[in-house]
Amino acid sequence: MKSHAEIAQDAIELVKPAIERLFERTNRQELHIVVMDPRVKPWESSFSEAILLESSLGNPQQWTIPFDEFARKKAKQAWRSSQANITNQTMHTASLTEDDLLFYGSFVYGDVVVACSGVEQWYDMLISSWIALAIEQLCMAEYQTNKINNPTQTIRN
């Protein structure tokens, strides 16, 4: 079976044509993506150790805004609360910490947490949702294919 990191990278590549199409209507064509490891919970690991994958589109050396840092902050909020950070910022503001970024752009699907930064926050969230759903369904495809090919296998590895 593919590793979780390979599946996350595959998911980004799968939705990249949609992202590039969306770039036709966004304020810039730069993006940083953070995918958290869905197997790791906040009480089991530090945030940095729980990052599964980071990826950038555009030219990070030319960024005037630290989109990578912003995406990590969005991911940390979502990972900490197991919900998209728009929820913390619009309904549960008591949970915001002093260093939380006040832009949304993350998405949580089951245990899959993805955050993006680089375009308008509503588009960051949209892209995060595409990637999160793609990760879960690509994992499902791997899982089901493995079950069919190895019907007596009792554990994932």
pLDDT tens-digit readout, 33-78: 999 999 999 999 999 999 999 999 999 999 999 999 999 999 999 9
For residue 51, what are the CA distances in angstroms to 38, 85, 121? 9, 17, 21
The upper half-sphere exposure of residue 73, i.e. CA atoms within 13 Å in the direction of its Cβ, equals: 16
Matching residue, tokens 């990590």:
72
In this predicted structure, what is the pLDDT of residue 126?
A: 98
CB atoms within 10 A of CB 116: 31
pTM score: 0.95
d(CA 49, CA 74): 16
Type of residue numbered 65: I
